[in-house]
Structure 1
Amino acid sequence: MNILNKLTLLYKYDDGDICNSLMPYLSKLFEVVYKANDLDDLLKISKENRVDVILFEIAKEDKPTISTLDLIHKESIAKGIIILAKEESITSLQKAIEIHAHSYILNKKENLQTILKSIKSLSIKIDKELKESLIYDKLNKQFYELTRQYEIINKNIFLSYSDLDGNITDVTKAYLDFTGYCKEELIGKNHSVLKHVDLKKSYVEDLWSTISKNIIWRGEFQNIKKDGTLFWIKVVIEPLYDENGIKIGYCAIKEDITDKKRVEMLSVTDMLTSLFNRRYFSEILVKELGRAKRNMLNFCLIIVDVDYFKQYNDFYGHQAGDNVLRKIAECLSISSGRGNDFAFRIGGEEFAIITSNMDDDDVMNYVENIRLSIENLKINHEKSKVSDYVTASFGVMNFSPSIELLSSDDVYNIADKNLYEAKKDGRNRVVFYKNKIDKNLSCSIDKLTKLPDKAALFEAVHELEDRAMLMIISLNDFTHLKEQYDNKLLDNIIIEKSKDLRRTILDKETFLFRLSTNEFAILVTRQSQFEKYLSIMEYAILQNRVCEMVYKDVEYKIVINYTIGIAYGKKKLLNMANMALIKASSTTKGFYVYCGEIEQKEIRKQMLDKLKIYKEALDNDKIIPYFQPIVDVNSGKIFKYEALARLIDESGNIVTPYMFLDAVKEDKTWEYFTRQMLHKVFDIYSKNSVNLSINLTYENIASPSLIAYIKNRLDLFGGQRITFEIVESEDIKNYNLVEEFILFVKSYGCKIAIDDFGSGYSNFTNIVRLNTDYIKLDGTIIENLAKDKNVELMAISLINFAKKAGIKTIAEFVSSKEIALHVKELGIDFVQGYEYGKPELAEYYGLKS
């Protein structure tokens, strides 16, 4: 809105004709126009009200008026004064100059246009000054906040900055105090000035290899202070970019871990071989697996077992056996010389190596070289059945970073299984994967059922060499079950049904997968088995509907019905099976076998029919807001409501629009959907004194017309109780645009929440940069807190980050008292979920609509 229309004017005017001529223009230029009847009235009005412009008529030798002008100037009552002289007067002109009047004009009818121009130019000048003042105040506040943040960081955080060659460009006072250096001694120097002589060259090479690819590097260093004291630091190094996205250097965040490392080294070393021990193996396996996932690196575990070692000990004696273990340990230690390599003794004659960032061919060569180096020790072994010398067998696991759900136990079990195969196949050999499908199944495991997951199915189908049979099995009415039973009982149901399905797998060429909460798949790769599994599906799986179990001392007998889609082929097998599943839902027998192109056209027609429902709802104003409460953890009271979109179909059913989201975005109607939603939410907002959250996508923010509409709503209703929720994801192409939007809505007092934080794409730097008020932890994190310790640790990290950044946290999907208590213990500020209320119409929560 133009500030000009917010200005006020006060006039004292004796000439009625000129005054009457001016009033129509003054009413348009100023929001409020005050008239003073005399000098006392003028002073009274100016003291009781904000006055921007004073229009003042003065006589030739009017001493009271001149005294009043002095008072107005002295107390800065107005931002500008225009003096209209009844007649020419040196005294009044001097007074006008003295008080810095904007204009001095003879009050004559022929000067009417000059008077109007002067009033307008003064108004524009004040308008500009007000805008500049607002911008200055905002920039000044932001500068103060940034300066304060820098001071806190400089005093308390170990930080250093370097150019692209690793030369130090800046370092915090905290790190200088710790190392004993002054800034002048480090600026321009390479970080190697602090490096300990024992730091492996390969470790540094791995660091540079990682950060040169713009990947964040995490690790530990042993460094030297200025006085020669050794210390250990934990380091995170990430790239720095300028405003054009060009990399200009690196930032290293450091933490002193010296005391921890001293104790650690005593407790993690195997005394016989000086390799790391079994306890440390378990810790590093989890840690390095997590690092590989975060940095999108391949992860490798190698388990080594000395062949016929018991026989060696029995024949040569235990002291000779110990010497063999030391020599093999030395081979492993030399081979694992890279910065991200770790060698362990994990049992009597069993060793392990953990490494990362190698493809399958590199790993195979790496392990084969280790195998040969052990055999080339030429340690005689008369009791070996595979060689005249001591040898070893190797089980190897190397997995892709795109597979997120693999746990440390899964990795170990797969490598151990491959070691068993190596021994069974004759020893003194390396076993990686027996075939491509086995590899895919090993690399992507569902946490709950320990079955291969959807990603594994995609890969397995991709690797098919011949025609196969695929059955997708859906557990019906699972949403209804979620409303009746708690999450733990539902998990038990899924586990039991997965066991039932496992029992139907009768050969090694058939594989079972878990695709989602209530969907499984069976892939049959041998064509001779197709008919057998079709019969198993019809007469075993579909008939096994009752699930019996005891949970919390209560016996349950729950009926589970299936819908099954079946397809045969190689290309588009998944698409065909999914189409068959959709068709099966409308049959009475519970399954459907895909037959060809006719079914594809039918499925496409069904999808178009669904999209038609959406468009009819949009055209007929059937988009409605539902509201779900967000509750303050400490007070237990509703803090605000999130507005969630629903649509009404032609039968009056309430449908979520998000099943149409991708198609809708493509045909450009999503903005109109959002506009209709905003209109109704702001209407409810205007009638209720409650806080509301509204969801926006990046597409919304990038639309000038929608931003103009949001401005219109905020101008009408204000924004002090509005929170805009934005999903921070890789879809955001222009963060400057998002920042501009946030600054714009915050000028109305709105708050900003980042939705689905922790869901896979979460940039901590951007969260701070975007001046966020809340982050909403992704529902999948909250649902799995009690099931997975790694998820809980991730949640704790996110919450701690938010607290340090002054950002409030909201937990979504809080569906039980157990989850509510858990998130409260973790320090969450607000909670949202079925435990506190389902999405309902405004009236359900007592809101006027």
Structure 2
Amino acid sequence: MRNHHLLSQYVSALESSALCIRLDAQGRVIFISESLQNRLNTDQPLVGKALKQFVDPAHREQLEDRIKYTVSNQQSWNGIIKLATQQTQGAWFQCLTIPLFDTQDKLSEIVLLLQDVSREVYLDELLSETRFDSVTGLATRVDLLNDIKTTNAQCLAILDIRKFRSFADFYGLEFGDELLRAFSLWSAQFLNDRHLKIYRLYGDKFAIVADFRMIPSVFELHLKHYYQALSSTQFQINGGDVAIDIALGMGVGRKKLVQLAESALAKAKKVFSGDRIECVKEREFVNSNKVNWMPKIQAALDNHDFINYYQPIKSSDGKNVDYFEALVRMRDNGIDLPPGMFLDKAKTTRYYSQITRSVIEQAVIQSEQHNVAISVNISIEDILNPQTVEFMLDTLEAHKSAQLIFEITETESTEDFSAVEDFAKQVRLRNGKIAIDDFGVGYSNFSRLIQLHPDYLKIDGSIIRNILSDKSNASILTGMISICREMNIPMVAEFVEDEAVNGYLTQQQIEFLQGYYIGKPAPQLSKWLN
């Protein structure tokens, strides 16, 4: 009798403190602990109802099957279930299910002892979301960094899809997601057979790494085959065939592989090298970054070693006046360095604005001397610098015969576009002109184009490069032509590299053409005028 009394106290203590449910043989609730009732955040009476009524629908069938199994085998079952009520989204529990039998082995009741694991499940879901991309299903940067460490990788490739934002501009965001999914599925299947894995970093940027320590030459060969296969592949999106091109960079080293590959990708995006993989090796990267650019830039300014090269921009039909683009170079030990080597570094110093002034001063002299229009590239940093803006406007005031076109780059990098609008207004009041560079690669270009109404619009080179072989490029260009015709804005096509592209763009009545087929940049403007 005493033992029965103690047992009753044990049961009472358990029921009052634990998250507990007791069911009869038919699965109806005969008891639910107060602590569990509070955890479910409901005052709805649950006793007398079937357990399945407040089990999450996705887990009902599984739980019923497990209970039947435990009863028939007189065993316990331990698993995770989700309980929910009409008033709540529910909570996750580790559930120990114990069937109790009478002396004739007949089921008497079923006891469920629960432990709240909602936080653990939430953290697992959160980790899963960070590990796997929701759009493509690919592993993300989290797994990439772990796999690089696990395999002790010495090679990593990073790529992005050229003019991807143009697809979103013209066809919509859903189209962009569908294209990313198709590209990711095809890439994963192609690369998996070669022991390579693809990861989505963000946007249209992806990484590729081997699942073992692959030597660089073999890794590079696989990347070339991947590029070649991708170049001959078209993806069916919303009933249409879409061909894409990628910029691909490869990093090789023992440390900072991601940084090396990012640097290689930056090089790849500046040139169109086909299946030649841009590669940055650790030793080269370290050596190149040992250069102290600040004294070099300062010395070049002191010695007037920032010089303009000029590239012709030719009227396609002769009805418009040709003009020229000023492209800055830095003369170092008799070698004229391209802006890719020093300009980004100069932007981190106080000398950047002086470089801009040097370019403009030389362009003004050449424009007045030869009575030609010259475009100069200016960035958002220039427009947001009051002293630089004052210099540019004062220069226009002082040189009224100069024909300057300010070619604005990086229009996507500023949230305050009103500064660009105000600058354009002030330039036009002084007889200057405005051009927009790299049109077709920004998500808000159309709305900003309407706001700014530039005097010239330069089509992004990635669209022109494959214009003869890529139907999607051709359709994008057709859309641009329609908009510019309606707004009466002359278009400039960059990267005109051969006669075939030149002929096609002329046929499309693109007003101006620029590229190596038209003429390479040269340090003397007189070369073109003579």
TM-score by length of 2: 0.53
Task: Choose which of 647, 652, 671 in structure 1 pairs with 2:330.
Answer: 647
Residue pair 1:472, 1:581 contacting (<8 A) in 2 also? no
Task: Choose which of 307, 316, 332 in structure 2 pairs with 1:624.
Answer: 307
Relative distance call for 1:758 and 1:808 in structure 2 (3 A) is same
Query: 1:733-748 maps to which residues of 2 (within 5 A)?
Result: 733-748=415-430
Query: 1:177-576 maps to which residues of 2 (within 5 A)?
Result: 443=136, 461-462=144-145, 464=147, 467-468=150-151, 469-472=153-156, 509-511=195-197, 523-526=209-212, 530=213, 533-534=214-215, 537=218, 566-567=252-253, 572-575=256-259
Relative distance call for 1:580 and 1:838 in structure 2 (3 A) is closer
Could you tell me how far 1:622 is from its partner in structure 2? 0.5
Whether 2:526 is the aligned partner of 1:840: answer no
Task: Choose which of 463, 468, 473 in structure 2 pairs with 1:786.
Answer: 468
Relative distance call for 1:580 and 1:841 in structure 2 (3 A) is closer
Residue pair 1:467, 1:525 contacting (<8 A) in 2 also? no
SS at match of 2:372: coil
Residue pair 2:131, 2:142 contacting (<8 A) in 1 also? no
What residue in structure 1 maps to residue 480 of structure 2? Answer: 798
Could you tell me how far 1:683 is from its partner in structure 2? 1.4
Determine the C-alpha separation between the residues in 2 that align with 1:538 and 1:778: 31
Q: Where does the alignment leave 5 or more consecutive residues of structure 2 unmatched?
A: 1-55, 59-127, 159-187, 229-248, 267-278
Residue pair 1:692, 1:721 contacting (<8 A) in 2 also? yes
SS at match of 1:642: strand
What residue in structure 2 maps to residue 725 of structure 1? Answer: 407
Determine the C-alpha separation between the residues in 1 that align with 2:366 and 2:374: 9
Relative distance call for 1:661 and 1:801 in structure 2 (3 A) is same
Task: Choose which of 341, 349, 372 in structure 2 pairs with 1:667.
Answer: 349
Percentage of identical aligned residues? 27
Determine the C-alpha separation between the residues in 1 that align with 2:303 and 2:216: 49
Could you tell me how far 1:756 is from its partner in structure 2? 0.9
Task: Choose which of 484, 504, 507 in structure 2 pairs with 1:822.
Answer: 504
Residue pair 2:407, 2:435 contacting (<8 A) in 1 also? yes
Could you tell me how far 1:784 is from its partner in structure 2? 2.5
Residue pair 1:437, 1:459 contacting (<8 A) in 2 also? yes
Relative distance call for 1:836 and 1:665 in structure 2 (3 A) is same
2:257 maps to a residue whose letter is L
Relative distance call for 1:440 and 1:615 in structure 2 (3 A) is farther
1:653 maps to a residue whose letter is I
Could you tell me how far 1:790 is from its partner in structure 2? 1.6
Relative distance call for 1:507 and 1:818 in structure 2 (3 A) is closer
Could you tell me how far 1:686 is from its partner in structure 2? 1.9
Relative distance call for 1:796 and 1:805 in structure 2 (3 A) is same
Could you tell me how far 1:540 is from its partner in structure 2? 8.6
What residue in structure 1 maps to residue 398 of structure 2? Answer: 716
Instruction: Tell me the alpha carbon deviations over residues 313-349 of structure 1, each in whole angstroms, 9 at most, x when there is no partner.
Output: xxxxxxxxxxxxxxxxxxxxxxxxxxxxxxxxxxxxx
Determine the C-alpha separation between the residues in 1 that align with 2:443 and 2:310: 27
SS at match of 1:624: strand
Task: Choose which of 422, 442, 454 in structure 2 pairs with 1:772.
Answer: 454
SS at match of 2:491: strand
Could you tell me how far 1:721 is from its partner in structure 2? 2.3
What residue in structure 2 maps to residue 27 of structure 1? Answer: none
Instruction: Tell me the alpha carbon deviations over residues 417-466 of structure 1, each in whole angstroms, 9 at most, x when there is no partner.
Output: xxxxxxxxxxxxxxxxxx9999779959xxxxxxxxxx999676256385
Instruction: Tell me the alpha carbon deviations over residues 729-785 of structure 1, each in whole angstroms, 9 at most, x when there is no partner.
Output: 222333332222222221222221111111224432322222311111111111122
Could you tell me how far 1:802 is from its partner in structure 2? 0.9
Relative distance call for 1:522 and 1:639 in structure 2 (3 A) is same
Relative distance call for 1:593 and 1:621 in structure 2 (3 A) is closer
Could you tell me how far 1:603 is from its partner in structure 2? 1.3
Determine the C-alpha separation between the residues in 1 that align with 2:216 and 2:493: 46
Determine the C-alpha separation between the residues in 1 that align with 2:361 and 2:135: 51
What residue in structure 1 maps to residue 339 of structure 2? Answer: 657
2:421 maps to a residue whose letter is E
Query: 1:155-174 maps to which residues of 2 (within 5 A)?
Result: none
What residue in structure 1 maps to residue 386 of structure 2? Answer: 704
Could you tell me how far 1:714 is from its partner in structure 2? 1.6
2:326 maps to a residue whose letter is A
Relative distance call for 1:438 and 1:822 in structure 2 (3 A) is farther
SS at match of 2:327: strand
Residue pair 1:441, 1:460 contacting (<8 A) in 2 also? no
Could you tell me how far 1:723 is from its partner in structure 2? 1.3
Could you tell me how far 1:605 is from its partner in structure 2? 6.7
2:332 maps to a residue whose letter is D
Relative distance call for 1:654 and 1:442 in structure 2 (3 A) is farther
Higher relative contact order structure (alpha carbons within 8 Å, sequence separation ≥ 6): 2
SS at match of 2:310: strand
Relative distance call for 1:437 and 1:705 in structure 2 (3 A) is closer
Determine the C-alpha separation between the residues in 2 that align with 1:690 and 1:580: 38
What residue in structure 1 maps to residue 370 of structure 2? Answer: 688
Q: Where does the alignment leave 5 or more consecutive residues of structure 1 unmatched?
A: 1-364, 369-434, 445-454, 475-501, 548-562, 583-590
Could you tell me how far 1:713 is from its partner in structure 2? 1.9
SS at match of 1:767: helix
Residue pair 2:368, 2:401 contacting (<8 A) in 1 also? no
Relative distance call for 1:540 and 1:633 in structure 2 (3 A) is closer
Instruction: Tell me the alpha carbon deviations over residues 369-398 of structure 1, each in whole angstroms, 9 at most, x when there is no partner.
Output: xxxxxxxxxxxxxxxxxxxxxxxxxxxxxx
Larger radius of gyration: 1
Determine the C-alpha separation between the residues in 2 that align with 1:785 and 1:708: 40
What residue in structure 1 maps to residue 495 of structure 2? Answer: 813
Residue pair 1:642, 1:693 contacting (<8 A) in 2 also? yes
1:766 maps to a residue whose letter is R
Determine the C-alpha separation between the residues in 1 that align with 2:440 and 2:280: 38
